[in-house]
Amino acid sequence: MSRPAESASLAGRCILITGAGGGLGGVAARACAERGAQLVLLDRVVSKLETLSDELVSHGHRQPALYPLDLAKAGDADHAELADILLGQFGGLHGILHCAAAPGNLGPLADLTQAGLEHLLRVNLSAAHGLTRALLPLLRQTGDAAVVFTSDASARRGQAYWGGYGLAKIALEALARMLAQELEGEGRVRAHLLIPGAIDSPIRRHTHPGEHPEQRRRPDDLAETLASLLGSATTAPKEWLIDRS
């Protein structure tokens, strides 16, 4: 498939990464830091944020801002508070990369409780919508911004036993496409959908326990793509399916 053009410098751009403590989020943080971005790293687990921050600083990159937040419990007020902080500390926002995800326990829909479904939808769908909605005014204000949603090449197929995670990823893709269409005419914010294939990540190892490690791609292979999508207005809104699996 076609790929985004090679990414340019991200200097002067403020980028928020959710799920920064995970495999894909960490790769994105390193790629953006190497290109000079001011990072705001969001994750539920404080220790993961601190470890990543220490790593970035030890490699000579600028100090990222850390924002611990449990997206399963956050609501409109929490999202609005983050928007106020970003505006006050950084004067705006140039990009959001939604990497936060939680597959839960895969299995039959008959075993999925209402509470379990609502939890998975909040983490994998509602959080991305709520954060984007709250931060959209900041993105529009910069006039050259991007929102990148990440899906799952296996969960998106609507096949048996993917449960609430599969439902959430299918809905997330619809959200990304709808938002891209709504924003395209403005020319100020681009919405992208990135669908990684078999990458070696904690989620992939959880959902595909029998898969041989050699069948998975290194997460670092996506670094250039992630940074490019968050860069300046050189890439039109698009859906990027990295490989099928």
In order of start, what are the domains of the chain with their CATH numbers? 14-241 (3.40.50.720)
pLDDT-derived band at 2, boundaries 50, 70, 90? very low
Q: Which residue has the tokens 């997330």?
A: 172
The string of pLDDT tens digits covering residues 117-152 is 999 999 999 999 999 999 999 999 998 999 999 988
Where residue 115 falls (left for φ over 0; alpha for ψ -120 to 50; beta otherwise) is alpha
Q: What is the pLDDT of residue 19?
A: 95
Mean pLDDT over the full length of the chain: 86
Check whether 103 has a pLDDT greater than 70: yes
Residue type, 215: Q
One-letter amino acid identity for 52? L
Comparing 2 with 36, the larger pLDDT belongs to 36
pLDDT tens digits, one per residue of 34-62: 999 999 999 999 999 999 999 999 999 99
How buried is 90 (Cβ within 10 angstroms: 0-12 exposed, 13-18 middle, 19+ buried)? middle
Residue 43 is predicted with a pLDDT of 97
pLDDT computed for residue 64 by the predictor: 98
Tokens of 38: 């001011």
Distance CA 47, CA 50 (A): 5
pLDDT band at 206 (very low <50, low <70, confident <90, very high): very low
pLDDT number for residue 222: 75
Q: In this predicted structure, what is the pLDDT of residue 5?
A: 45
Report pLDDT for 162.
Answer: 82
Residue 135 burial (10 A CB sphere; 0-12, 13-18, 19+): buried
Provide the pLDDT confidence category of residue 78 given band limits of 50, 70 and 90.
Answer: very high
Residue 239 confidence (pLDDT): 54
Determine contact, residues 130/74, Cβ cutoff 8 Å: yes
Joined tokens for residue 91: 């004067």
Q: Give the dihedral of Cα atoms 83, 23, 51, 60; nearest 10 deg.
A: -80
